[in-house]
Structure 1
Amino acid sequence: MKLIFLFLTIGLAGCEASDCCKHGVVEDDGNVCVDLLTNKTSSTSLTCSHVDHLSLQMFNFTVSEDSLILNLNEDMVIELESDKFCVSNGTRFSDDPVAVICSDVDEKILEESVYGYCMIVSVVFLVITVIVYSMLPKLRDLLGKSIINFCASLAIGLSTLAIMNIMEYSDLKWCAVRGFVAYFFILATFFWSNSISIQILRSLERPTSIDYSWKAFMWYALYAWGCPTILTIILAIVNFTPGKHRKPGIGLNTCWFFDYKQQWYYMYSVMTILIVSNMVIFMYISLSLWRHTFASTHIKALKYKFWMTVRMFIVMGLAWIFEMISSLSKPHIIWVILDFFNLLQGLLLFLVLVVFRKRVIKELYNKGWLECVAGCVERHLAVGDDEEDVVEHTIGVALEEK
């Protein structure tokens, strides 16, 4: 998606500068003039291939006959020459004056719509995972409930990003809503991954218990949903409060952050903290588990759940680490390949949480939902014992009441 400069706080002085269009107005988010009476289009007075729009409603800027001055902050002022900008009295869907400026944008190797459709594939597999875990009572323990919320938040976040990549926007208000929704659910996914890590850590204290109650889950839910809620509210306040602070830019002139700097400042920084936190927890758990020298089915089950959680973290964590690194460099085919790993993380999580987890396959088979592939399932289950098949000491409610 196109990104513009940092937030601007400046005033409009005059409009003697070059008009973008001799007839009509500028097309929204484009470098084309459109005659509203005849619906004919023509090129603007700019010759650059990439442009951004600065709306007077959102930004104040100073225009003279031969320059446009952008005061990014007290210490940084940018002046654009006359051949790098033009002004228009409005756009197809807005009567607010806009300045159209040339922007330096790296050429994309693939269209954003391609990324959007790949996200939809991920969303489909995440939704299937949520349905499977929701319909099987034995999977709805504390870990299972958390996995449901983890996959649901990632599915909603990716579906919102997919819409932003596939559909063009004409209303900045709805555009802002989509941006904040995506921000909230993507961050919620990371907080749920951290919550799951903490659950595995606390399981070291009582590995023989499987908690099916809602009491403990509500505390984890308060943490995993509450933190992104607070951060999203703070982001909105910072975004729409006038001033010379570093604004995210969501809904001001684009659906997402102004550029990678804002994204790192408000989003990737939080992700990095949670990723590092998970890594520290995983190292501590691995050391604690491997200190046990005695054989125990409960320790065996806890080890399996731990490694399943690690695989979840690798699939999601590495995907977003690649995304964060690629934001700091120019487009390259290597980053395109790694981006597809990020975009298809829903499929990989489905394999980890459903296909390769024998407990899930066994429950689906017992329900009669895998009759068409019964032979394959029986061979799959016969390869080895279910690592989670232990005598369960449940907490909270009886299994049939869950």
Structure 2
Amino acid sequence: MAGRERGLLLLLLGVATAMNDLNIPERPPLLIPKCCAGEEVLNRDAHCQHVNETGVDMWKPKFTSEEGNEPQTQPNYQLTNGSPPCERQQTWPIYAYPGSSDRLVLMPSGTLRHYARDKKSLLVCTIFALDFELEGLENLAHPDEPRFYDYLPGEYCIDKAILEDGMEATFAQVCTPKPISDWTRTDFLISRIVDPLCHVFCIMCYLTIAIVYFVLPQLRDLVGNIITTISLCMLVAQIADLVRTFTEFSSHVSFLVADVVLYTALMAAFFWINSMGYYVHRHFKSSNVFLRSTDGRKYFYYSCYVWGCTATLGVIALFAHFVFNSKDPESTVMCSANQRNIGWMAIAIFFIPVAVLVIINVYFWRSTAHTISRISSFGRIHSKLKYSFQMFVKVFLVMTIAWLFFMLTWIQSRVLCYINISTNILQALLFLYICVLSQKRVTFHLRKTCCYDNCICTCCRPGEPTPETCEWGEEMHYIDTLDNFN
């Protein structure tokens, strides 16, 4: 027995000697990023200051396992200094202290876990004034479980901080998490793919209308200029709404600007359609129907009315937002990825005038329709006014219906959001059809400008002018152009 034990002991000594001869390298230390230098902490002003000047002890990492227990063996670590390299992402400060809604746990693997009790704690309103809401931070296993998010090394730095009341807290500066992209979810596909593509298509439709009415000189009358301006307003509104769908690399300020531009452009479009309704209504009621000589001056007057009212109401809405809505800074998700950052008081100032304009336009519609029904014969100018009235009614109905569906998106319902996306693209298509495709005069001048009589495609040939496609004098101009061409 003694010989056997002696042999086993010699075997163990041989194995140990062999292991030493292998010279296995030691595991590199775990790098823990510290926000300040080695003997510094964050003071009340959120600046690094030496511990001798603050009267607190130097910060040392305290590791905790996922179960909440202290590990039996502390990992070998080494402190590094500096803020995390967040590249294009923004940084987000977290303060954890007794009684706060945030809790920071440093794992033995070097991962920093941030626990939050409720969603409001994910909205940062601290010394750094970074005001945005993080996405994807919830642990959805059970609604009662604490929400947390893990930050890997390189995505955070941690240190000790002194609060204004002298209380010590654990401070962490982290990179905002990237939203989790789930290509299998219908909501993600609609909000990130379908909705932006629909906005781009709508922008192309409104841009086409504006170019057609601006380029063709025969369409640059008062009604044509109003249609061009309405198209540009709707185009700007689509661009602003498109900005609101991208949430990764933007801040609260950019969303606020997008909201203001969106609502201002929509309000301006309704003021312009109101001007168009007043123009048609006034000239059907007036005994003097000669319109050509004062189109430019009238457009100037209408521009002063529209932009003056729009600018005044926009300034009042911004004032109401910053004065009366300061206690509610958080953004609200409205439809898909779109966010609303402007307050309800400002929204009321934007949309109540639109509701009043809708009522006034309904009056113009009914009154003008009654006047037209009493006219037995139409001259050329009355016929042109009748076409302008028909265009006004169609555009007004399309804008009003789309506006109503847009307001329904304030109700947190995904079905209403999807309906609004469909209504949005349908509005652009109807605009293009009403203002360009269904107007024989517009399509005639468009074919005459872009095509020729011997065009291969017969549908693109301009053909002969008719009373429906030309106004007074345009027939002779067209014939003279053909004679000069031949």
The question of a shared fold, defined as TM-score above 0.5 by the shorter chain, is answered with yes
**Quick one: distance in 2 between partners of 1:262 and 1:52?**
25
Structure 1 pair 201–374 and aligned structure 2 pair: CA distance change class (3 A): farther
Structure 1, gaps ≥5 residues long: 1-13, 25-37, 61-80, 95-106, 394-402
Hey, what does 2:80 align to over in structure 1? none
**Structure 1 residues 281 and 93 mapped into 2: Cα distance closer, same or farther (>3 Å)?**
farther
Q: Aligned-pair distance for 1:140? A: 0.6
Q: What residue number does 1:127 align with? A: 207
Name which one, 1 or 2, has greater alpha-carbon Rg: 2
Which amino acid in the other structure matches residue 55 of structure 1? C
C-alpha spacing 1:387/1:109, structure 2 compared with 1 (3 Å): farther
Are the equivalent residues in 2 in contact too, given 1:169–1:175 (CA < 8 A)?
Answer: no
How many residue pairs align between the two structures? 328
C-alpha distance after superposition, 1:202-246 (max 9, x if no partner):
2212434235642211110111112111111112222223xxx35
Aligned amino acid, residue 155 of structure 1? L
- Residue number among 271, 276, 281 corresponding to 1:191 in the alignment: 271
**Corresponding residue number in structure 2 for 1:222:** 304
In 1, Cα distance between the equivalents of 2:106 and 2:467?
Answer: 72
Q: Which SS does the other structure have where 1:165 is aligned?
A: coil
Instruction: Indicate how the Cα distance of structure 1 residues 139 and 311 shifts in structure 2: closer, same or farther if over 3 A, else same.
Output: same
Identity of aligned residues (%): 21
Aligned to 1:220, the other structure's residue is in SS state helix
- Aligned counterpart, 1:367: 449
User: In structure 2, do the counterparts of structure 1 residues 211 and 23 end up closer, same or farther at CA, with 3 Å as the change threshold?
Assistant: farther
Q: Which amino acid aligns with 2:191?
A: E
Shift of the 264–258 alpha-carbon distance from structure 1 to 2, 3 Å rule, reads: same
Cα distance in 2 for partners of 1:222, 1:88 equals 57
Look up the match of 2:225: 145
Counterpart selection for 1:358 from 424, 437, 440: 440
Partner Cα distance (1:375, 1:315) in 2: 32
Matched with 2:322 is 240
CA displacement at 1:337 relative to structure 2: 3.2
1:378 Cα shift? 5.0
Partner of 2:125: 55
Query: Could you tell me how far 1:122 is from its partner in structure 2?
Result: 0.5
Return closer, same or farther for 1:316/1:19 CA change in 2, 3 Å cut-off: same
Select the structure with the greater relative contact order (CA < 8 A; seq sep ≥ 6).
1
Aligned to 2:382: 299
Deviates more, 1:81-90 or 1:230-239: 81-90
How far apart are 1:53 and its partner, in Å? 1.6
Question: Taking structure 1 as reference, are residues 212 and 331 closer, same or farther at Cα in structure 2, changes over 3 Å only?
Answer: same
Shift of 1:116: 2.9
Counterpart contact for 2:116–2:147, Cα < 8 Å:
no
State how far apart, in whole Å, the 2-side matches of 1:88 and 1:202 are: 70
Which of 299, 309, 315 is the aligned partner of 2:392? 309
Deviates more, 1:125-134 or 1:170-179: 170-179
Asked if the contact 1:133/1:140 (under 8 Å) is kept, the reply is yes
| Alpha-carbon spacing, 1:264–1:361, altered in 2? closer, same or farther (3 Å) | same
On the 8 A contact 1:123/1:155 being kept in 2, the answer is: yes
Distance 1:110 1:88 in 2: 39
Which moved further from structure 2: 116-125 or 293-302?
Answer: 293-302
Task: Check conservation: 1:260, 1:327, Cα contact below 8 A.
Answer: no
State the secondary structure of the residue aligned to 2:450. coil
User: Is the 1:156–1:182 Cα contact (8 Å) retained in structure 2?
Assistant: yes
Q: In 2, distance between residues paired with 1:376 and 1:120?
A: 28
TM-score of the superposed pair, with normalisation by structure 1: 0.68
Which residue is 2:472 aligned to? 391
1:345 corresponds to which of 410, 427, 449? 427
Counterpart of 2:357, as a letter, is L
